[in-house]
Chain A
Amino acid sequence: MSEIAIHAQKLSKSYNGAVYALHDLSLEIPSGAVFGFLGPNGAGKTTAVKLLTGLLKPTDGSCAIFGISPVKKPCEVHRLCGAVTETARMYGRLTGMQNLIFFGQVIGLTKRECRQRAETLLKSFDLWDVRDKCLSSYSTGMAQCLSMARAMIARPRLLLLDEPVSGLDVESALRVNTMMTNLAAQEGVTVFLCTHQLQYAQNFCNSYGIVSKGKMLACGDLESLSREVGIPLRARFRLREGQTPKHMECLNDGWWGSDLSEEEDMPDLLQNLVSSGFDVFEAQLVHPSLEDIYFKLIEWKGEET
């Protein structure tokens, strides 16, 4: 693909000079990607977001957002990206609407533009009914949604989201997902998403980076990750009860499984089964889940050190 949205070169940050919160992070995320940045607590996800937005200065290495350094030109970077972090709050005494208008104006929109944008955003985040209530009376999830609306007010080309769905219920999380997916697909917005909710990330992202203790363990899409970790693709079949194919592992409830070296092997396997007289009711190609990969990686790297 074309442009590089986020580029990081050996990006490192140490808060106290002794321990690295983030160590030698190298990344290249093309524009339009939805990138999941995954890792356990204290892995350095928030630190990475703060480095990319220029709120922190890197101890070593460098990074660039659309080719602009957040250290040298933070303002220009902020013009291009909207960021949501856990610690960036909005004004409790202002209403949802006023908050959005304020931040819109600070970004440089006119009051009219702000109002129009705020209306659309409040409606799409289902905050329209509480738009005239003070933020201090919002629930955690509502405030979180408002923060996201704030990040989007100036139509950024990149969204940096730190734990965007941690306080949200299933319904709002789903709404946020749909919105981001649409943004990414239709407007080509790049999304950099930090989370430790793997299931969520798998549904939503198209490439992933897995970090632990400040180090990037692996990076890529699901396929390349599973290849790297060595968890194979699996084929699963449900056969008529009593039938027992050779070279297959018996799973529960009449299901049989077998490892595949690549996707292309599936049709042949199926054909073989059918031509050998088995009655196939269902057939599945099972990709390893992000969770499998993640735990395997964490386990591996844990052993190494």
Chain B
Amino acid sequence: MKILTSEEKTVVFKDFGDIWENKTARSILFLVPFMMTLVLPVFFLILLFHVPSDQIKGMEQMLQLLPAQAADLNGRQSVFYLVTNLIFPMFFLMIPLTSASICAASSFILEKERGTLETLLLTPLSVKRVFKAKVLGGIFLSALTTAVSFLLFSIVMAVGDLLLSMPFYLNWNWLVLFFFLSPVITVFSVLFMALTSAKSVSNTESFQTSGYLVLPIVLLFMGQFTGLYQVNAILLLWISGILFAADLVLCFFSVRLFTAEKLLR
């Protein structure tokens, strides 16, 4: 069974073209991963090597957050460990979130604003198939971005770990984050943006709505600094599971909600 028919593929490739030709979308698609996987980690590493060791001692309180298995790390190592596991995951999750949102915004909302969605719906492609092509296209592009970012990030981290002579950063948390949480967040963002496009909102407005998706992620990771809880693989799995269920619900609703009349209003 083919996932996409050739007509649907034509739509997907046209959407890729739209995203590529859209300056804002293209720059966000490159800039966010670049910042999150290269600039910030490298900047942090440089900073870490320039801060004298005794100042790191001043971060005692923060170091209390270290889990047991990281107890025998020295000052620099433990700071790096903390940042890798407490802060960088948050940065990393911005990548599937923003890339999925921008892809979906471009292929749903911009297309509606420009009046081309109506033309597309006048073709023998049904609303459902247009929807499917656009959602899958958005998921594909943002999954690709996320995977490439993950590779880049791993290289930067490997260099950092080597310099600090620590074990490789990858642990269960990161594996769950990349293989479970990122995909469900991608799907969630694409569907969320697609649904907001059914309500008549402008492009800028919908980006503001997508800001609401960032907030829970930031809260989740920053909340760890209260010391009340730690984000671990099990918790991430739970969150992934919940989001997966939410994806299914969104998918169910959007298929029902999407009619030509609602989309074009």
Contact = CB atoms under 8 A, between A and B. Distances in A.
Co-assembled chains A and B: yes
Interface of A: 53-57, 74-76, 78-79, 83, 85, 87-94, 102-103, 105-108, 150
Interface of B: 6-7, 10-11, 14, 17-18, 21, 114-116, 118-127, 259-261, 264
A16 B251 CA distance: 28
Contacts of A106: 7, 10-11, 120, 123-125
B261 A56 contact: yes
B119 A103 contact: yes
Contact of A76 (B18, B116, B118, B124): B124
Contacts of B121: 55
B7 A93 contact: no
B264 A55 contact: yes
A190 B49 CA distance: 77
Contact of B116 (A56, A85, A89, A105): A89
Contact of A55 (B7, B14, B17, B118): B118
Nearest to A80: B124
Contacts of B11: 106
A114 to B, nearest CB: 10
B245 to A, nearest CB: 31
B126 A75 contact: yes
A85 B261 CA distance: 15
A162 to B, nearest CB: 11
Contact of B261 (A55, A108, A150): A55
Contacts of A78: 122-124
Contacts of B115: 87-89
B11 to A, nearest CB: 6
4 closest cross-chain pairs (CB), A and B: A89-B115, A88-B119, A88-B118, A105-B10
Contacts of B123: 78, 103, 106-107
